Amino acid sequence: MKNYNKLSDTQKKDLLIQKYELDKKSFKEIAEEYGTYANKVRRDALKLSIKIRDKSEAQKNALTTGKTKHPTKGKKRSNETKAKIGHSVLKSWENMSPDELKNRKLKAKVNWENKTQEEKEFLLREANLAVRVASKVGSKLENFLLNKLLQSGYTVDFHKEQSILNTKLQIDLFLPKDNIAIEVDGPSHFEPVWGDDALKRNKKYDDKKTGLILGKGLYLIRIKQTKDFSKSRAELIFKDLIIAITSITDNKTETSKVISIGD
């Protein structure tokens, strides 16, 4: 066994660069190989300006090298367990302090800025493709709500073109028996996802669409979706949707023609 304590600082630095940085070994593994203890190796790494892996990097390295197994990979969870996990994650986000939320957004912005131009262009192409696909087959939230409504016994027209006041109009979800139109408005309806001009066009079109739907004598439920799709959040939105539909069907004469729900 090699004696770590007899190495000079230069030899220790070369050793750590090779074993810790290149071979991705842990301080414990290096210590065992060279007859010392892990904390001493770590202290030397700090003294010799070796970048220490943070907890996330260490966990990723352990999984990649096979030193540890992923705690959930390959394990099947019941729908009930998945729902509990989803609600727990949702609750943690909702209870997040403004400062922590700001830090998360800042970190995401930094991660984006650190990407190469090629990576940015690829992600933007993928995002544009996803938007085009969603406009034809519906977003994840729209499809989720469609299936839940059908399971609940509602008759639903999905992205079907309607003739409203001499205008061809596509409504996201339409309940023909109840004369209720349901529109799911994603982030691009509220934020300049594609730029300020695109946001102005979207808002103008939304106002026009609302006017046409109400002019036809229909009720309108607008669902505001500002966050990415999650099943837990979608379940909560569906519950609010059923409450809104019921308020219309049970009390049409007093219910507002437009009901807004969502996050």
Q: Mark whether 118 and 144 lie in a shared domain.
A: no
Q: Mark whether 195 and 209 lie in a shared domain.
A: yes
**Average pLDDT of the chain?**
80
Q: Mark whether 122 and 42 lie in a shared domain.
A: no
Q: Mark whether 123 and 174 lie in a shared domain.
A: no
Tell me the per-residue pLDDT of 211-237, one tens digit each, with 9 for 90 and over. 989 988 899 999 998 887 888 889 999
Task: Write down which residue in 135, 153, 176 finishes a domain.
Answer: 135
Q: Mark whether 251 and 142 lie in a shared domain.
A: yes
249, amino acid identity: T
* Residue 37 predicted with pLDDT over 70: yes
Q: Is 194 exposed, middle or buried (0-12, 13-18, 19+ CB in 10 A)?
A: middle
Give Cα separations from 39 to 27, 50, 83, 94 (angstroms): 8, 14, 42, 39
Task: Write down which residue in 119, 135, 151 finishes a domain.
Answer: 135
For the chain, the domain total comes to 3
Tell me the per-residue pLDDT of 154-175, one tens digit each, with 9 for 90 and over. 999 988 887 777 778 888 999 9
Domain that holds residue 108: 79-135
C-alpha–C-alpha distance, residues 181 and 164, integer Å = 12
Confidence band of 116 (pLDDT split at 50, 70, 90): confident
pLDDT score of 3 = 81
> Which residue from 108, 133, 136, 112 is spatially nearest to 122, judged by alpha carbons?
112
Q: Is 173 exposed, middle or buried (0-12, 13-18, 19+ CB in 10 A)?
A: buried
**0.75 cut: is pTM over it?**
no
Q: Mark whether 166 and 107 lie in a shared domain.
A: no
What is the token pair recorded at 104? 């998360």
**Is residue 71 included in any domain, yes or no?**
no
**Is residue 18 included in any domain, yes or no?**
yes
**Is residue 74 included in any domain, yes or no?**
no
Q: Mark whether 36 and 94 lie in a shared domain.
A: no
User: CATH number for the domain including 191?
Assistant: 3.40.960.10
Relative orientation angle of helices 140-151 and 231-250, to the nearest 10 degrees: 50
Q: Mark whether 216 and 258 lie in a shared domain.
A: yes
> Which residue from 193, 178, 180 is spatially nearest to 228, judged by alpha carbons?
193
Residue that has been written with the tokens 């023909």 in this structure: 176
pLDDT score of 94 = 61
pLDDT score of 237 = 92
Q: Please list the residues that pair with 261 across neighbouring strands.
A: 223
C-alpha–C-alpha distance, residues 145 and 141, integer Å = 6
Confidence band of 128 (pLDDT split at 50, 70, 90): low
> 3-class SS at 144?
helix
What is the token pair recorded at 60? 């990723």
Task: Write down which residue in 112, 135, 158 finishes a domain.
Answer: 135
Tell me the per-residue pLDDT of 47-87, one tens digit each, with 9 for 90 and over. 999 888 877 777 777 766 666 665 566 666 665 665 566 55
**Is residue 125 included in any domain, yes or no?**
yes
Q: Mark whether 86 and 102 lie in a shared domain.
A: yes
